[in-house]
Chains A and B, each alone.
Chain A
Amino acid sequence: MKNNIREERLEKAMTQQALAETIGVSRQTIFAIETGKYIPSAILVLKLSKALAKPVESLFSLEKSD
């Protein structure tokens, strides 16, 4: 699964730390999600969607291998 959290975050001029504090995780977790090392749970996906004010489908998309 790929995501464009980084692009959306930068568009909103948010730092990783600010986004992490908004959704209640560590900055390392945001880094791991943005780099595709960690696929977040549904709860975190919904929190990200709310924090970035974007629908889930525009933040995450499936790849052929999924």
Chain B
Amino acid sequence: MQRSFLLPYRFKPVGAVMMPAGLIIWIWGQLKLSQDSIAKVFMGIVPENAHLLKVTILVISFFSCLIGMFFLVFSKEKEEDEYVANLRLKSFQLAAFVQMTFFLLAFLYIFLFKKELSGDAGLELFLIASILLFWFSYISCYQFVLIKNKLQANEE
């Protein structure tokens, strides 16, 4: 049976490290990293360079998270077989359902409470959130079922 478009297994552990690390650094950068805190670490840095450094950290961490997620989702298992292929399909179905529900509820909320998205940035954030929700739902479902089945099989 053909299992196309999947990376070798060695990409999975790389993704498992890159995705959470990138996400944590990105959230930390958004919440805690300011030009003042950069100036404290790099004494004498000019404000423009501090801003550039912050943007660089945020961009690198965000793309690390995305690439890590790509590796995690699109790499083979150690033993890739039809059960895993079936689980991938079921997880995609669940993720699509979660995303569609999110879309419907979000638009219903906007319509009922007359809450407009604040400009292009608001729309971008909404779209990024819905895309990430899809992939997080997929990874959560897939890993949960796979790990649960492995644990139960090992208990026997």
- A binding-site residues for B, Cβ under 8 Å: 16, 24-29, 31-33, 35, 37-38, 40-41, 43-44
Measured between beta carbons, the chain A residues less than 8 angstroms from B84 are 26, 29
Pairwise interchain contact B86-A38, C-beta atoms closer than 8 A: yes
Q: Contact between A29 and B81 (Cβ–Cβ < 8 Å)?
A: yes
Number of A-B residue pairs with CB-CB distance less than 8 Å in the complex they form: 41
Number of interface residues of B (CB under 8 A): 15
B145 — nearest CB in chain A belongs to which residue? Answer: A37
The majority secondary structure among interface residues of chain B is helix
| Cα A35 to Cα B84 with chains together (Å) | 16
Contacts of A28 on B, CB cut-off 8 Å? Answer: 79, 83, 146, 149-150, 153
Q: A24 contacts B149, CB within 8 Å?
A: no
From 132 to 156 in chain B, residues with beta carbon under 8 angstroms from any chain A beta carbon are 146, 149-150, 152-153, 156
